Amino acid sequence: MIALRAPAKLTWFLEVTGRRDDGFHLLRSEMLTIDLSDLVVIDEGEDYVRVHNPYKNSVPEDGTNLVARALALVSRRAGVTIEKAIPVGGGLGGGSADAGAVLRWAGGVSPEAALTLGGDVPFCQLGGRALVEGVGERLTPLEYERRHFTLFMADFGVNTADCYRAYDELTQGGWRAESTNHLEEAARVVEPRLARTMDWLRAELGQDVHLAGSGSTIFVEGGVGLAASQMIGPEGTLQVLQTVTTPAEGRD
């Protein structure tokens, strides 16, 4: 058995810079790995994907699972057990993180090949801190910086495809993004519970409150003076986690 860490990715800023003819959006973002991670256990003598998932959103265990697709990409066969800690549908790249861990174990693939599994997979294979451009395949590694964050994790997710569709509809109507995360307003439209939660946190904390990717995880830089691991917000319980950035796997 081989146990691998699959660190979550946090999107520090996200700019939508254009759209390709095939409909995919061009991005410019800074991504960081943090010490919240899934555990991926590999048994090279078997052939299965099993997911132990404490969250409401389900994770497939068939060939559509990103880990199964990553194994197929590298022509490897193995049994894989995933212990989920990264929220499902929370904008922290959980499935991509698991696939990235498997690709690293298999020796790695090019960013272009990793992109066939999803836009976050090239960065999740690399890890650490990077400027991410194109549709996710253009990576510029950046020097590691230790940063502390507080995450607020809702018990609902935001569908990324719906978020991009809402973004397109907003821009077609003349709206232009002004925040550091160009998808924030679209995510608020797609999931009104997220909008109410973000507004409530901004009023409660009096700090810069950010959305992770297309959501639904919300974060602030630094601590917030909370000892509790949960908060009761306007749309239910928020899990509160203090976390820190991590270097790329295998680097100090």
> Catalytic positions, please?
9, 120
Supply angle C-alpha 170, 171, 175, rounded to 5.
80
Structural contact between residues 219 and 210, judged by C-beta atoms closer than 8 angstroms: yes
Structural contact between residues 157 and 216, judged by C-beta atoms closer than 8 angstroms: yes
Residue 22, φ and ψ in degrees, nearest 5 = -85, 5
The burial class, CB within 10 Å (0-12 / 13-18 / 19+), for 143 is: exposed
Tell me the DSSP string of 99-124: HHHHHHHTT---HHHHHTT-TTHHHH
What's at 12, amino acid-wise? W
Structural contact between residues 212 and 205, judged by C-beta atoms closer than 8 angstroms: no
